[in-house]
Amino acid sequence: MTKNEIINLVETTFINYGIKTVSATDVNKSAYVPNIRQKEIFEYFEINPMDRRQDIQIKELFTNRILTMSYYAILREGANRPPEPRMGLQDLISYLSIGDEILFAHDNKNIFIYNLSIITDYEIEEHIYTQIDFDTLEEKARNTDPRPQQVQQTIYTYSRNNTLKNYVKRRSDYSCEMPSCNYQGFQKENGERYIEIHHVIPLSERGEDSINNTVALCPNCHRALHYASNRQELREILLNYLSHL
């Protein structure tokens, strides 16, 4: 997964994010100075370094590692310059080298950090969708454009549609949403239970690409919805299920 793909995915899933390149001063002074967009993230959680030194815990994206850092303001040299917020402590400083691009992002519950200069082989997409707070994922999924996207994409991007699919998987707790189905399924290599996603009213029949028209189904129920002689009846059952969510 490339850096741009990660940024694109973060943009479609998190509430806000900011990226800054680590400067020589950050490293030499052992204090990282967040940029404006990154400061906004702390403000969102009402963490204000002007009041007092704050210890904050930040989750590292993809690894679940918790990094502890302090956030404080320091008076700068020269007159008429306001105090500058800085971040310190071993966890953060040992993490940074000059030129690294540091991404901070947040959902409703947590602040996340990721050093974009360290590209890993993780199945990053799965990690993001399981780490992000469910309320934030729901908010993003609810606000996807319900008009189906028919554009052929040549560049692989993480569309809002993926946010929608992953929201529905978590809504169902990776089980079949067909009422009365007792699917147990099997686990995938990444530990997630296998489940499929289905549009109750097909996009070809002008169904919406939205959470109100999308369900998680086991492979058997899914095939039945497409091919069973009573598929219209099954469709009604799912529409009724969705209308009561």
Residues that bind Zn ion (CB under 5 A): 176, 178, 181, 183, 198, 218, 221
Q: What angle do CA 21, 162, 132 make, to 5 degrees?
A: 55
Q: Rounded to the nearest whole angstrom, what is the least distance from the CB of residue 174 to Zn ion in the complex?
A: 12
Residue 82's alpha-carbon distances to 27, 44, 121, 163, 216, in angstroms, are 21, 21, 42, 40, 53
In the complex with Zn ion, the residue whose CB is nearer, 158 or 183, is: 183
The distance of Cα 14 from the centroid of its chain, to the nearest Å, equals 5
Residue 105's alpha-carbon distances to 10, 20, 58, 110, 154, in angstroms, are 8, 12, 10, 8, 27
Q: Rounded to the nearest whole angstrom, what is the least distance from the CB of residue 220 to Zn ion in the complex?
A: 6
State how far the Cα of 14 lies from the Cα of 107, in Å rounded to an integer. Answer: 5
Q: Rounded to the nearest whole angstrom, what is the least distance from the CB of residue 207 to Zn ion in the complex?
A: 11
Q: Rounded to the nearest whole angstrom, what is the least distance from the CB of residue 165 to Zn ion in the complex?
A: 12
In the complex with Zn ion, the residue whose CB is nearer, 83 or 146, is: 146
In the complex with Zn ion, the residue whose CB is nearer, 96 or 176, is: 176
Q: Rounded to the nearest whole angstrom, what is the least distance from the CB of residue 227 to Zn ion in the complex?
A: 10
109, 116, 89: which is closest to 20 by C-alpha?
A: 116
In the complex with Zn ion, the residue whose CB is nearer, 23 or 210, is: 210
In the complex with Zn ion, the residue whose CB is nearer, 20 or 171, is: 171
